[in-house]
Structures are given as structure tokens and as C-alpha cells.
Amino acid sequence: MPSNSPLYSILFIIGFFIINSCEEKVMLTKEQYTDIILDLQVAETIIINAKVQNKDSLRSAFQNRICEIYHFKDKASLKRALQPLESDPDLMLEITKVMSKKLDELADSAIVSQAN
């Protein structure tokens, strides 16, 4: 079967590239969901209150930085990783409760810092 050998090699190479080109599905923990959404929310608050003309550029910069921090290839990868929250209202509610608690803790620590 020496004549089939190049065919098998080509099929192997094609298969290798197909497997490697498929996006690996990222499964985030509840803590990771919370941290990412909290960072996105803080960034959005900063953007809303910013006195810049092009808020879309600022939003893009924040989103790119969040992708870097959490090791996402790009914004599309980040969006795909957050999609389970859209289809699981119970998980979203749970994450929202944890976020609310973290935001309260941040607000309390800011108040204590200002008092000192």
C-alpha cells in the first residue's frame, strides 16, 4: 500500500487542522462568571460616566483588556463563554446574587476607606 501512504498523510494533516481549528468550549466556574460580569459592569459604569467623544472605542478597549485578563482569544470567545448564562436563568440569578453581595462589600470598603 505504498501508493496510499501520501493519501493517509494528507488525511491526517487535514484532520489535525480541523480538530485544532475547532474552538474549545470554555466552561467557567460561578466565581469566574461573577468576576467577569462584575468587571464588565464596572467598565460599563466607567464608560457611561466618561467624558470622551468615542465611547465605543473606550468600550472596545475595556473589553479587550478583560479578554486579556481572563485569557480569552477575542471578544467573540468571551461572548461565547458567557452564553450559558443566557440559557440558564437559575445560574444567572445565582451569579447576580453573588455579584450584588460583592458590590455591597466593595461599597462598604469604600465607605470605610473614606472615613479613615
pTM assigned to the model: 0.68
Contacts of 43 (CB under 8 A, 6+ apart): 59, 62, 63, 66
Mean pLDDT within 101-106:
84
Indicate whether 53 pLDDT > 80. yes
10 vs 107, higher pLDDT:
107
DSSP string for residues in the chain? -GGGHHHHHHHHHHHHHHHHHSPPPP---HHHHHHHHHHHHHHHHHHHH---S-HHHHHHHHHHHHHHHTT-SSHHHHHHHHHHHHH-HHHHHHHHHHHHHHHHHHHHHHHHHHH-
Mean pLDDT (the chain, rounded): 80
pLDDT in tens, 83-97: 988 888 898 899 888
pLDDT in tens, 5-32: 555 555 556 555 444 445 556 688 889 9
Say what the pLDDT of residue 61 is.
Answer: 94
Question: Which residue matches cell numbers 457611561?
Answer: 48
Indicate whether 116 pLDDT > 70. no
- Cell numbers describing residue 102: 460583592
Say what the pLDDT of residue 12 is.
Answer: 55
